[in-house]
Structure 1
Amino acid sequence: MAGPVITLTDVGIRFRRNRRGRRTFKDLFAGRGRRSRPGEFWALRNVTFSVQRGEAIGVVGRNGQGKSTLLKLVTGVVLPDEGRVQVLEGVAPLIEITGGFVEDLTVRDNVFLTAGLHGMTKRQVEERFDDIIDFAEIGDFVDTPYKHLSSGMKVRIAFAVISRLEEPIILVDEVLAVGDRAFREKCYRRIEELLDGGRTLFFVSHNERDLRRFCTRGLYLDKGQLVLDGPIGDVLERYNADYGV
């Protein structure tokens, strides 16, 4: 029976401004209530929505309004303080360009490591390795330590690896803003191929043209609240009206 592949119900998550990290395990299990203590703020609060398989969702809002936190909740990197997050399919995240990559390892080793962490077998990586390197256009640097790559090259190899995973849900958080225009267009064509194949997309961007290109639905976050969930055109119109973009 068909149903949503992602469901968030009354989700809230809070962080501390004046201490590194989130609450301690002692705080977590002590049951100290839901109110924010001094130095804490709610990155997201009372967020509820669901996503059907194959939808392309654009997440919009100013910096610091909870967009990246929302994607991290979907990946399971962070857990909510309130509510429930249910994700029924695997996730391929392209959230931070250095996420999952080890600076001192070569590009080759990082491809095998990162793909393996996402569930690919060694044989599967070997079968796709040449395609990954060709897509990233960094063949001359395949045995170079990852730390010596430029930020643009790091994005290339990260996107090349993540886009070859078979996970049904793809998360993209603004990282493609780094790099040259020709490669960015190449990545965008790959995203379109994934969407044509039935993948589900979460796409965080400040570029209205890109949001309209990929997404049919939008989520507008402001001050950690879900202000509007609707057709991407309506969401962008409301966002632009609110902030004079």
Structure 2
Amino acid sequence: MLIIHMFACLSDNYGFLIQDQATGKVAAIDTPDAEQIMTEAKTLGWSIDQIWNTHWHPDHAGGNQAIETATGAIALGPSEVSAKISPLSHIVEPGDSVTLGESRARVIDVGGHTLGHIAYYFEADAVVFVGDAMFALGCGRLFEGSASQAWDSLMRLMALPDETMVYCAHEYTAANARFSATLEMDNPALTNRLAEIAALRAKNLPTIPTTIGLERATNPFVRANLASLRQAVGASPHAPAYEVFGQIRLLKDHF
């Protein structure tokens, strides 16, 4: 039911325009670069009806007002966007459903990177837009939330079906791959993935989208409950998974 148009913008962001095929309604998922988003929409012959924000950071919500003014689009997202960037037409919370034409998404709590970060999950299309909560082989820095909060958020994403396509908002995969290789080089799935990532980036091709199943098999941040990751970071066998996750995040922060 959805057509997804992904494009690189700013230094390493991805922008997303999505269209409900049944009605032609269009939404921008976050607004990293208002001018480019509107240019992409014009090239496609699309008119932007809505803006769906995942969190408040300027490279995700900073283009809201320009797009609203130019197109009349309505913006929705977590309350932190209204508090820190610009007023939203509609505040959404985890557990809510939001619609674009006949397409429906469930709002998921993925707080940690920011306290109010949310994701949009289109079950019928097996697609989730996660902002900066999770990246291919990575996750967002914990600027506001705790390791426990972020771990719980990642586990909500990992509860989605393996085939779910994950659209994250930055091309950080090569750097994440270098870090992941320091932790789990005995993981055959990761070894294969590192080669695939290197080949894609050598051609300047995107590594996004990924899938829930691929992240479950290779992303060290969602595998912190496994003995191999505990051993890799020198954690106690009895440490809670969120503490191991926190150690992994700290190592990445200084990698």
- TM-score using structure 1 length: 0.34
Structure with larger Rg: 1
